[in-house]
Amino acid sequence: MNISKAKILSLLDLTSLNDDDTPAVIDALCRNATQAIGKVAAVCVYPPFVAQSRARLPESSGINVATVVNFPTGDEPLADVLAQTQQALADGANEIDLVFPYKALQQGNAAAGEAMCNQIATLVHQQAGSLKVILETGALSPAEIAQAAQIAIAAGADFLKTSTGKIAHGASLEASAILLDQIAQAKQPVGLKISGGVRDIATAEAYIAQAAAKMGADWVQPENFRIGASSLLKELISC
């Protein structure tokens, strides 16, 4: 499958989620969101940098501003996550990446994930935003991945996302195959975001080819498929 650099760039959520992020780092991230070959789908930053990112990337730019909540552990109180989400939306985020309470799921408490996804989806959709649910697939068994995906989809997730990128095991083709199976069975449109370990074009191409084989080549568009990365950009814009 021949995939252009411009195509991969258009699928990118250009991400900076580092403990040492500063306003200068975020300014540089926003500048890099537009390149000679095109622009990324979104930038993804920590909540304190949402307002800055939106100021640098007005809605007219066509570049979305994403942020993370319940991140990275997935075990914050629901009231706190709702407050984080409300503030992020007020600051200008139009995409919320929510960590599914995967530890609760492993302990037999699937209801925690259902309640959180339902309430955050309602809040996000009231503001015409998009919800990506991070399933932290590297910490889950195949059966748990499928179960979490089903809960997230039923609650109104717009995307399933593989990973936070903050644990040892990030995305894998095996996990993304499970998510694509659940997406294919969904009664409403659901996208896929690959995150956690995509650092070169060859890896990105493998996930794109997998998604195209399952869902069709036309499905692999920014409204359905994203890659969360930062280091990938350097290879995309190199000669």
Q: What is the pLDDT of residue 238?
A: 86
Compute the half-sphere exposure of residue 226: CA atoms within 13 Å on the CB side of its CA.
Answer: 35
> Mapping DSSP to helix (H, G, I), strand (E, B) and coil, where does residue 225 land?
strand
Report pLDDT digits (tens) over 119-171. Answer: 999 999 999 999 999 999 999 999 999 999 999 999 999 999 999 999 999 99
Model pTM score = 0.97
Catalytically active residues are 97, 161, 193
What lies within 8 Å, CB to CB, of 194 at 6+ separation is 161, 162, 171, 176, 204, 207, 226, 227, 228
- What pLDDT sits at residue 2? 79
Structural domains in the chain, sorted by start: 5-237 (3.20.20.70)
CA proximity to 36, closest of 58, 6, 13? 6
pLDDT at 239: 55
Query: Among candidates 161, 167, 199, 201, which has minimal Cα distance to 180?
Result: 161
Quote the CA–CA distance of 131 and 47 in Å, as a whole number.
Answer: 15
In angstroms, rounded to a whole number, what is the distance separating the alpha carbons of residues 86 and 69?
10
Residues of the chain falling short of pLDDT 70: 1, 239
